[in-house]
Amino acid sequence: MTPDQKKTIWLSLLGGAGLALVLWALLAVLGGWPGPVPDPGERIALVLKLSVLPAGFLLVVVQVVALTRLITGAIDPLADAPSAWRRVDMRVLANTVEQTLIFLPLLLATAMVIKADESAWLTALPVAFVLARCAFWVGYRISPMGRAPGMAAGFIINLGMLGFVVVRFLG
């Protein structure tokens, strides 16, 4: 294993630990908000409202890429060689689209199988997801390895929801 691979593993573990801390803090601050939501339809409605958080973040990334192209005169993205700064933004955009496309249906599925008294998770998860995407973007700005904590945190959220939904569905 190369030193870079070892560093990526440690940074990913840091991202996972940071995610655990963020989720714990969010659940503590929320104090159980919105309270028990026994009706699955109401939980779906809540999730759809909270989906504006990841969608809003995605919109911000799209706008940053678009405005950077406008400001730098790179209107035709196929005709120029983008700077490192722009390449990072474009990769963050592509990865955020991918992760959000995975996150949103999993959040909806989670809303269907979660128990009424666990509804606070439906609020904490989108907030944590957006914070993970922010950490990914900021970390990528620092270095390609710097994206590992945010990438790991987002991946753990998605993988955790998938596992949760499968276990609840089967059990």
Query: In the predicted model, what is the mean pLDDT of the chain?
Result: 94
The residue type at 141:
R
pLDDT for 36 beyond 90: yes
d(CA 47, CA 122): 6
Choose the weakest-confidence range: 13-17, 33-37, 70-74, 133-137.
Answer: 70-74
The pTM assigned to this predicted structure is 0.95
- Long-range Cβ contact pairs of 54-60 (< 8 A, separation 24 or more): 54/100, 54/103, 54/104, 54/126, 54/129, 54/130, 54/133, 55/100, 56/130, 57/96, 57/130, 57/133, 57/134, 58/96, 58/97, 58/100
95 close to 61: Cβ distance less than 8 angstroms: no
Sequence spans of domains, the chain? 39-170
**Mean pLDDT of the region 89-98:** 97
* Span 65-86, pLDDT tens digits: 999 988 888 878 788 788 888 9
Out of 3.40.50.720, 3.20.20.70, 3.40.50.1580, 1.20.120.550, the CATH code matching 39-170 is: 1.20.120.550
* Span 126-166, pLDDT tens digits: 999 999 999 999 999 999 999 999 999 999 999 999 999 99
19 close to 132: Cβ distance less than 8 angstroms: yes
d(CA 12, CA 85): 23
The angle subtended at Cα 89 by Cα 87 and Cα 95, nearest 5°, is 100
The pLDDT, as a whole number, for residue 73 is 82
The pLDDT, as a whole number, for residue 44 is 97
d(CA 88, CA 98): 15
